[in-house]
Structure 1
């Protein structure tokens, strides 16, 4: 929670909001609920583009989530100007996402790479599985699960103010 007792507002962002960011949102909600800390967070996801706005996540995302017992509640939407100030932490999936956020004037102190939360030395970017087969979705979920676990360790582990400042997460 924030120092004032309000939830930490987290936004997961990818390109179209049908694969990576909704998967991250679903995994985060699932893992936070398992840890009993979901009430400390307000979680959402969005895409840089609006091509899929109003759609459910990619069926392959939903299939892999179901295989792992994870519910993905998202309906795709495009990043809105309000998101940039509303969320304490904006978690992007790759360098292209970060560049898009920076072009839109996102506060840099609120931006974090999803991979920066991984406890191991994994790849810098969460690969976009959209143009690939089911194995790419398995790899995406594996990557996101490790990163979400590290994220929860950091944000919910005792003093969350070390990770989330008055204006957001600093790195």
Structure 2
């Protein structure tokens, strides 16, 4: 089983929608027995809370139900997940620093990377923008970014790990 963790700051906007869209893509390809995912935040502001209501509303518009409860990234996550996919540079630095501090080495580019490293429309922008202080339409932009980035990420993981759908 390949385990993927999506990380943002508070775990109530970007990483929950990234987790939900990725899970949906995995399901559509029939790979639930091969790939799993979760999400976390680098800060503990929203531990135990459901995602932001605007994130929930936007997800529902796309047929996704968000039930994830906010949690903070833990040291145990660094070993439990094969890939840690971060939404922006500041949180990437925080995860990288935690990894270095606890593992005494820098994580590989295979282990820790930005989600938009896989965005076919990145146009040089490497971060998923944080919609928290923005209006509802901005949440749709974030959804579109994570959806297309996750499609490419899933293709990458299938190829990298030579994942083959189990015949039923």
TM-score (norm 1): 0.86
- Which blocks of at least 5 consecutive residues in structure 2 are unaligned? 101-105, 164-168
Gaps of 5+ in 1: 1-6, 163-171
| Alignment length (residue pairs) | 155
Distance 1:20 1:14 in 2: 6
Matches within 5 A, 1:12-51: 12-51=6-45
Aligned-CA RMSD value:
1.5
Q: CA deviation at 1:36?
A: 1.0
Query: What residue number does 2:93 align with?
Result: 99
**1:139 paired residue among 127, 138, 141:** 141
- Counterparts of 1:21-170 in structure 2 under 5 Å? 21-105=15-99, 107-109=106-108, 110-122=111-123, 123-157=125-159, 160=161
- Contact 1:8–1:42 under 8 Å retained in 2: yes
SS state of the match for residue 99, structure 2? Answer: coil
* 1:161 positional shift: 5.3
- TM-score, normalised to structure 2, is 0.87
Q: Deviations for 1:108-151, whole angstroms, at most 9, x for unmatched residues?
A: 21101000111233421000000000111010001000100001
